[in-house]
Structure 1
Amino acid sequence: MQQIINRQSKAYVTWGLLAITIGVFLVETFSGGSKNINTLIMLGAKTNGLVQEGQWWRLITPIFLHIGVFHIFMNGFTLLYVGQILEPMIGHWRFFIIYIVSGIMGNLASLAFGANNAISAGASTSLFGMFAAFIAIAYIYRENRFLTELGKSFLGLIVINLLMDLTMSGIDIWGHVGGAIGGLLIGYALGLPKINRPKMILRILAIVLVVVISYFMYVKGMIVYG
C-alpha cells in the first residue's frame, strides 16, 4: 500500500494550480485591485444574478480568484501543503478532477443556498474538497492505519473550519459544505491508482450522486432567485 501511495512523488498539478492562482492574483492587482468589486466581477467572481443570466463560467472562475493578500496567502499555502500530500497519493489527473469538481460543487451550493447579492471568490471550495477526499480514501482503506489517521485529521480540520465559519461574517459556508461533499464523493469514486476498491457499482453510484446533487443545486439556484 505505501509503495502505491508514493508512486507519483512530484506534485506537478499542485504547483501548476498555484502558479495559475498567483498569476490571476497579479492580474487582479494590476487591473484595479484584488478587493475592487468591479475588478472581481470583470475577472469572473460569482454573483448569483450573473449566473442566473447565463454566465455559467462563474461557477468555475471564482476558484482562481482571491480577495486580498491574506486570502491568497492562506489558500495558496493550504493548496501547496495539502496538495503535496494528496496528489502523490492519488495521482495527477485524479487530484485535478477532485480540485475542479469540488470547486464547482461548492459554487453551486453557494448559488443554491447562499446570499443572492454576495460576491464569491477563492479556492476554499476546492480546498474543502481536498480535505474531504482524504476522508473518503481513509474509509475505503480503513485497515491502513496511516490513511485512517490522516482521514481523522482532515475530518477534524473540516469540522473546526465549519465551526469557525459560523462565527465569522463574509464567509461562504455553503461553498465550503458543497466543496466538501464534492470532494468526498469524487474521492470515493476515484480511490487510489491500481487498487480495485471500492466496487465499480459503488464508484458509479458516487458519480451519479455528484451529478444529481449538482443538478439539484443548479436548478434550485436558478429558480429561488430567478
Structure 2
Amino acid sequence: MFVRNEDFRSFIRYYPIITILIGIHILLFLLINVFGMRSIFNMGAGINGLIEAGDYWRLVTPIFLHAGFAHVLFNSFSLYLFGPALEQMLGKSKFIVGYFGAGILANIGTLYLQDSYFSHVGASGAIFGLFGIYFYMAFYRKELIDQANSQLILMILGIGLVMTFISPNINILGHLFGFLAGAALAPILLIGAKPFVNRGMIRVRRSPENGDIRFKPNRWQRRKVRTGPGSGGKILWGIFIALVALGFLARFL
C-alpha cells in the first residue's frame, strides 16, 4: 500500500493528482529559490493579518509553498508515499476535496487561533489530513486497510505529532487541525471506497501466437518474491526510518 513499485511513467499514469501536486511543489521552490522570484512567496504565504484584510487566497496558496529544501523534500516524499493509495481508493475528485479541504481548514484554524502577525507555508496541514483519513480508516473501515499498514500509519502519525511539538518554526495548530479535518471528512469521502490495488505488481505478457495480452497470475510466485512478515517488516521500518531522518533534516536545515 505504501511501497511504490511503479516506474516513472506508470506512477504519472496511475496517480496524476499526486504527480501534479509534487510537480507544483518543486516548480514553485525552484522559481522562488533558484530563479529569485521571491514575489511568488510573498504573494502566497499565509499571513494572518493580510488574510483578515481580504487576501483570502492565502488560505489556499500556502499549501503549495515551502520554506526550504528540507521542507519541500519532506512534504513531497510524504505525499509520494501516502498519497497514491488514497487517490486510487477515493478517486481523483474526492482526493482533491479531502486534501485541500483538510489544508484549508487547517489554515482557517490557524487564522482564528493565532495572532495577526503569524505567517506560515507548507503542505503539512493537508498531508496530516491524509493521515486523519487513514486514522479513521484504521479504526472504522478496517476492510480497507490491513493491520501492518494500520500500524505503520499510527507509528508515522505518532512520530509526526512528536516532531510537531519539539521542532522549531512548526505550525502546530495547522498540523492538528489538518489531522482533525481529515478524520472528520473521512466518513463521507470513504463512501464507496475500495481497498487499494497495487498496480505496480500487475504484469502482462504478449502471446507470441496472436499478440493478445494475457495476465499471468502466478508470475510473482515463480519469481519467488518475498512477501512474508519478515520482508514486510523491513520495508515498513525502512519507510519509518526514512521519514524520521527527513524530519530531523527539516528541523535543522
Structure 1 46/74 Cα, relative in aligned 2: closer, same or farther at 3 Å? same
Match of 1:23 among 27, 42, 60: 27
Deviations 1:135-164 (A, max 9, x none): 12233323x384454344323322321222
Query: Aligned partner of 2:192: which letter?
Result: P
Deviations 1:1-47 (A, max 9, x none): xxxxxxxx8111111111122222222225536xx6x65222x1001
Larger Rg: 2
Equivalent residue, structure 1, for 2:187: 188
Structure 1 141/87 Cα, relative in aligned 2: closer, same or farther at 3 Å? same
- Aligned-residue RMSD, C-alpha: 2.2
**Structure 2: where are the runs of 5+ without partners?**
1-12, 195-253
The answer to whether the Cα contact below 8 Å between 2:24 and 2:64 also exists between their aligned partners in 1 is yes
Equivalent residue, structure 2, for 1:128: 128
Structure 1 145/72 Cα, relative in aligned 2: closer, same or farther at 3 Å? closer
Equivalent residue, structure 2, for 1:139: 139
Structure 1 75/194 Cα, relative in aligned 2: closer, same or farther at 3 Å? closer
The answer to whether the Cα contact below 8 Å between 1:125 and 1:176 also exists between their aligned partners in 2 is yes
Equivalent residue, structure 2, for 1:14: 18
Structure 1 147/89 Cα, relative in aligned 2: closer, same or farther at 3 Å? farther
Alignment of 1:183-222 (within 5 A): 183-193=182-192
Equivalent residue, structure 1, for 2:7: none
Deviations 1:75-94 (A, max 9, x none): 11111111122212222211
Q: Give secondary structure in 2 for the equivalent of 1:54.
A: coil
Structure 1 77/194 Cα, relative in aligned 2: closer, same or farther at 3 Å? closer
In 2, the alpha carbon distance for the partners of 1:67 and 1:160 equals 21
Q: Give secondary structure in 2 for the equivalent of 1:117.
A: coil
Q: Name whichever of 78-87 and 23-32 sits farther off.
A: 23-32
- Does residue 80 in structure 1 map to residue 84 in structure 2? no
Deviations 1:86-138 (A, max 9, x none): 21222221111111001101111111223532320001011100111111223
Tell me the CA shift for residue 170 of structure 1: 0.7
Alignment of 1:152-167 (within 5 A): 152-167=151-166
Identity %: 31
Q: Name whichever of 82-91 and 165-174 sits farther off.
A: 82-91
**Structure 1: where are the runs of 5+ without partners?**
1-8, 196-226
Equivalent residue, structure 2, for 1:170: 169
In 2, the alpha carbon distance for the partners of 1:122 and 1:186 equals 21
In 2, the alpha carbon distance for the partners of 1:53 and 1:116 equals 10
Query: Aligned partner of 2:42: which letter?
Result: I
Equivalent residue, structure 2, for 1:40: 41
Equivalent residue, structure 1, for 2:117: 117
> TM-score, normalised to structure 1's length?
0.73
In 1, the alpha carbon distance for the partners of 2:147 and 2:91 equals 19
Query: Aligned partner of 2:29: which letter?
Result: F
Equivalent residue, structure 1, for 2:215: none
The answer to whether the Cα contact below 8 Å between 1:87 and 1:95 also exists between their aligned partners in 2 is yes
Alignment of 1:100-111 (within 5 A): 100-111=100-111
Query: Aligned partner of 2:105: which letter?
Result: M
The answer to whether the Cα contact below 8 Å between 2:126 and 2:178 also exists between their aligned partners in 1 is yes
In 1, the alpha carbon distance for the partners of 2:36 and 2:117 equals 21
Structure 1 115/177 Cα, relative in aligned 2: closer, same or farther at 3 Å? same
Query: Aligned partner of 2:15: which letter?
Result: A
Size of the aligned set, in residue pairs, is 182
